[in-house]
Amino acid sequence: MKILVCISKSPDTTSKIAFSEGNTKFDENGVQYIVNPYDEWYALVRALEIKEAQGGNVTIITVGNVADEAIIRKALAIGADDAVRINAEPTDAYFTAIQIADYAKKNAFDLVLTGKETINYNGSQVGGMIAEVLEVPFASLATKLDVNGSILTLEQDIVGGVQVVEVSIPAVVSCAKGMAEQRIPNMRGIMAARTKPMQIVEPIACDLFTTYSSYILPEAKKACKMIDPNNMDELVQLLHTEAKVI
């Protein structure tokens, strides 16, 4: 099975979030980038498990600049076979999806995997957009993925319940928690990653559907009101009369 895994960078989860240039740009000062956890822990690891069980090839793709080669090497160290970097800033989900879909179309993949969303923009957009361009089915937020010949069996969390679906390849699947377990790359993987092939592809022309015009940080919380642990009646009264939430 020929699998394409889409990876994105995201700031390390402990990063302090700040903005510059009049709150129009994410302030990258001191920010360490990681592979977006959903892409790494679930999409990439599940792709590797499928390959280990039945053979095939796992290619990773990212839309990003030279600096993003660090996260590409990390994904290769975990076990992907080769990598593609589309040489452009991924400023808009549609632009990003068009670039990946174009590469996927030219290289005929059986399965395209993405993470559920990135932890910086939380859009949950790219996978569905790729599927529409490729005119193939899209299963969003899958928590389980099994392959049987050309049939995929997937589980999805629906509001308050679970749904099991079947779909034939080629297909696009976005991957959520439950699908696989995080893998830590070993020394051999890290060494091997240095020499694995990485192709750099120039972007195709494409409109931007959306732009981030500015950012706002949440207001700082007022000091916390401490309540006597023996007086829960007081807390309930405050939640009713002061906070007005019950």
Partner 1 sequence: MKTLVYINSDNGISKSSLEVITYAKKLGGEVVVVSGGNSSDLAKLGEYGASKVIVDRAVVNGDEQQITKLIAFAAETENAEIIVFSHELTAKAVAPRLSVKLKAGLISGAIALPDLSSGFSCKVNVFSGKAFGVVTVNTAKKIISLLPNSVQPEITGSACSVEEISSNAGTSAIKIITTKKPEGNIPLPEAELVVSAGRGLKGPENWGIVEDLATALGAATACSRPVADIGWRPHHEHVGQTGVAIRPNLYIAAGISGAIQHLAGVNGSKVIVVINTDAEAPFFKAADYGILGDAFEVLPRFTEAVKKFNAAK
Ligand X SMILES: Cc1cc2nc3c(=O)[nH]c(=O)nc-3n(C[C@H](O)[C@H](O)[C@H](O)COP(=O)(O)OP(=O)(O)OC[C@H]3O[C@@H](n4cnc5c(N)ncnc54)[C@H](O)[C@@H]3O)c2cc1C
Give the interface with ligand X as residue ranges (CB under 6 A). 13, 37
Give me the least distance between CB of 93 and partner 1, in Å please: 7
Count CB-CB contacts under 10 A for residue 61.
27
Give me the least distance between CB of 187 and partner 1, in Å please: 26
Give me the least distance between CB of 96 and ligand X, in Å please: 22
Q: Which of 34, 133, 190, 192 binds partner 1 (CB under 8 A)?
A: 133
Of 143, 138, 140, give the one whose Cα is nearest residue 181: 143
Q: Does 203 bind partner 1 (CB under 8 A)?
A: no
- CB-neighbour burial class of residue 76 (10 A; exposed 0-12, middle 13-18, buried 19+): buried
| Interacting partner of 219 out of partner 1, ligand X, none (Cβ under 5 to 8 A depending on kind) | none
State which of positions 13-32 bind partner 1 (CB under 8 A).
13-14, 17, 19
Determine the residue type at 103: Y
Q: Which is nearer to partner 1, 88 or 133 (CB)?
A: 133
Q: What is the DSSP letter of 242?
A: T
Q: What is the DSSP letter of 23?
A: T
Q: Does 63 bind partner 1 (CB under 8 A)?
A: no
Q: Which of 69, 81, 88, 153 binds partner 1 (CB under 8 A)?
A: 153
Q: Which is nearer to partner 1, 195 or 241 (CB)?
A: 241
Q: Which run of H or of E encompasses 117?
A: none
Measured CA to CA, the distance from residue 192 to residue 79 in angstroms comes to 9
